[in-house]
Amino acid sequence: MTVAADVDRPVAMPRGRRRTELVMLAFAVGVVLLAYAAVGLGLRGKLPGLPADLVVFAALMVAAHLGIRRFAPHADPLLLPLAALLNGLGIVMIYRLQESGRNGNPGLQVTDMSSSATTTQLLYTGVGVAVLIAVLVVIREVRVLQRYTYTLGAVGLVLLAIPAMLPTSHSVVNGAKVWIIFGGFSVEPGEFARLALAVFFAGYLVSKRDVLALAGRRVLGIVLPRARDLGPVLIAWAASLLILVFETDIGTSALFFGMFVVMLYIATQRTSWLLIGVTLFLAGSWLTALMVPHVMERFTVWLHPFAGSNPTGIAYQPVQALEGLAFGGLFGTGLGQGQPYHTPLVQSDFIFSAFGEELGLVGVMALLLVFGLLVQRGLRAALAVPDPFSKLLVGGLSFVLALQIFIIVGGVSGLIPLTGITTPFLSQGGSSLVASWILVALLIRVSDAARGPAPQPIQDEGMTQVVRAG
């Protein structure tokens, strides 16, 4: 195969569909309202009044829509409604968990959950929407980011490194040293570092893709790139992995690894990269499991959650999640009527099990399809956009979104060993939510470029005139 043969033809896409977006957005907000009503009925047996929180939420979504209408008029109309639906359902579930055992509601109080969690999450939704609009305003074309390839690479590494260097009291929450905590305010810089490093990978790989794809030595039937071409990428990747292992956050390190390998593959089209990547990953996991007891424990819990004293010991959390999912069964207990409060950290990493318990298999499949649709729209934008940098960035980010859902949902439901990462849009937590909105903003920007009118030629002055100097 040769690179020359890979000519990317723009895929024809329909033009701006802002009215469609508004209708679907109204539908999404309607679903969220109904879900909120269901929580009230489930907890107290009566309809709640219209809460200010939801009015604010609806207003925020309308603001986002207006922002897109103004700054990205040709964007994919599905992206905002999908994000809004997920964000809204997340708020509803956080409200449901917050109310559990409070204000005379049945159930137990969820540990580590404040009585203002919903308001906080709504506040972060507001920040997310503001950042969405800001991104659309500032970044008129995604490829301008390519100019900041190395800057953003450095920013990403620094963001990752900060928690490792901070004292424990300012960086550890629930055993994961991935936070920056000052006063009552905490940020998980890894969520943003991922975006910055994605830009770095994309920028670097686009400029080097020809060399990476063509030059190199053939070893065992696989063409290996020259060390000097790969050097910076490997260094960045190894550094990020080291930091993550040091911070004991295996889920995020798997995400970085997946993003790195897939972007390399998209850039070079070499299947060998995928093979090397998967082999490296499996070998790495195995070695880590042998060396780090904490990782070995994850494997034990995954394989034998119900063995011996595991259900009350090391496997307590995943067993609670599994039993919650089973308790929900096909149709779920109904919002507010399950017992998700038994699962520790159900409001963050395990929020998907709460949905599974209360909405059942039916609700979970719907949620997965919504996520799947979001990923698919992202990949579609990547396919359609002609600019290689945008293509690589958005393709990589879409894949990472899918991988993140796979890792956390698969972990919660026992498909793969559990690693603690957030569920995009659903989990409680500002960093994850704002980063998710930035991701959607990038998708919107790229889909706008892909679906918008072809850029006008810079010179539009009729025939080129040849001026012959006297």
Residue with Cβ nearer other proteins (80 or 266) = 266
For residue 397, the minimal CB distance to other proteins (Å) is: 11
Is residue 330 near other proteins by the rule CB under 8 A? yes
In the bound state with other proteins, the residue whose beta carbon lies nearer, of 169 and 312, is 312
Q: Residue 314 CB, nearest distance to other proteins (Å)?
A: 15
The single residue among 2, 6, 460, 466 that binds other proteins, judged by CB under 8 A, is 6
CB atoms within 10 A of CB 235: 12
**C-alpha–C-alpha distance, residues 39 and 313, integer Å:** 32
Nearer to other proteins, 196 or 379 (CB): 379
* Minimum separation from the CB atom of position 89 to other proteins (A): 17
Q: What is the largest CA-CA distance in the chain?
A: 96
Tokens of 155: 């920013």
Phi, psi of 176 (to 5 degrees): -100, 125
Label the pairing between strands 176-177 and 217-219.
unpaired
CA contacts within 13 A on the Cβ side of 310: 15
Query: In angstroms, rounded to a whole number, what is the distance separating the alpha carbons of residues 175 and 139?
Result: 37
Residue owning tokens 């409604």: 81
Nearest approach, Cβ of residue 413 and other proteins (Å): 5
Q: Measured from the CB of residue 329, what is the shortest distance to other proteins in angstroms? A: 5
Nearer to other proteins by C-beta: 91 or 359?
359
Report the residue from 48, 232, 414, 452 that binds other proteins according to the rule CB under 8 A.
414
Segment lying near other proteins (by CB under 8 A), choices 58-66, 227-235, 246-254, 330-338: 330-338
Token couple for 467: 């001026």
Helices (H), ranges, 348-387: 351-384
Nearer to other proteins, 58 or 319 (CB): 319
Q: Say how far residue 452 (Cα) sits from the centre of its chain.
A: 25
Those residues with Cβ within 8 angstroms of residue 265's Cβ, 6 or more apart along the chain or in another chain: 271, 273, 274, 277
Residues linked to residue 182 through DSSP beta bridges, in sequence order: 185
Residues numbered 8-47 forming contacts with other proteins, rule: CB under 8 A = 8-9
- Coil, helix or strand for 424? coil
- Which lies closer to other proteins via its Cβ, residue 61 or residue 254? 254
β-strand partners of 186: 181
Using a 10 angstrom Cβ sphere, with 0-12 exposed, 13-18 middle and 19 or more buried, the burial of residue 303 is: exposed
**Among 68, 267, 346, 441, which residue interacts with other proteins (rule: CB under 8 A)?**
267
Q: How far is the CB of 136 from other proteins (least distance, A)?
A: 24
Count Cβ atoms below 10 Å from residue 68 Cβ, excluding itself: 28
Q: Who contacts 259 (Cβ-Cβ below 8 Å, separation ≥6)?
A: 194, 197, 198, 201, 396, 397, 399, 400, 403
State the minimum distance, in angstroms, from the CB of residue 242 to other proteins.
27
* In the complex, minimum distance from the CB of residue 253 to other proteins, in angstroms, rounded to a whole number: 18
Binding track over 95-134 against other proteins, x by CB under 8 A: -----------x----------------------------
Q: How far apart are CA 76 and CA 380, in angstroms?
A: 10
Minimal distance, residue 158 CB to other proteins, in Å: 29
Stretch that binds other proteins, among 109-117, 179-187, 247-255, 382-390 (CB under 8 A): 382-390
Site for other proteins in 338-377 (CB under 8 A): 338-339, 342, 356, 360-361, 364-365, 368, 371-372, 375-376
387-406 footprint of other proteins as x/- string (CB under 8 A): -x--xx--x--xx--xx-xx
Residues of this chain, 269-328, that bind other proteins according to CB under 8 A: 269, 306, 311-312, 319-320, 322-328
Give the list of residues 6+ apart from residue 329 with CB closer than 8 angstroms, or none.
360, 361
208 and 175 Cβ atoms separated by less than 8 Å: no
Phi, psi of 306 (to 5 degrees): -105, 5
Query: Count of residues binding other proteins (CB under 8 A)?
Result: 55
Question: Phi and psi of 222, rounded to 5°?
Answer: -115, 135
The number of angstroms, rounded, from the C-alpha of 174 to the middle of its chain's C-alpha atoms is 21
The residue within the footprint of other proteins, chosen from 211, 281, 413, 452 (CB under 8 A), is 413
Question: Which of 247, 349 has the CB closer to other proteins?
Answer: 349
**Region of 83-91, 159-167, 263-271, 281-289 interacting with other proteins (CB under 8 A):** 263-271
Beta bridge partners of 222: 219
Residues that bind other proteins (CB under 8 A): 6, 8-9, 106, 262, 265-267, 269, 306, 311-312, 319-320, 322-331, 338-339, 342, 356, 360-361, 364-365, 368, 371-372, 375-376, 379, 382-383, 388, 391-392, 395, 398-399, 402-403, 405-406, 409-410, 413-415
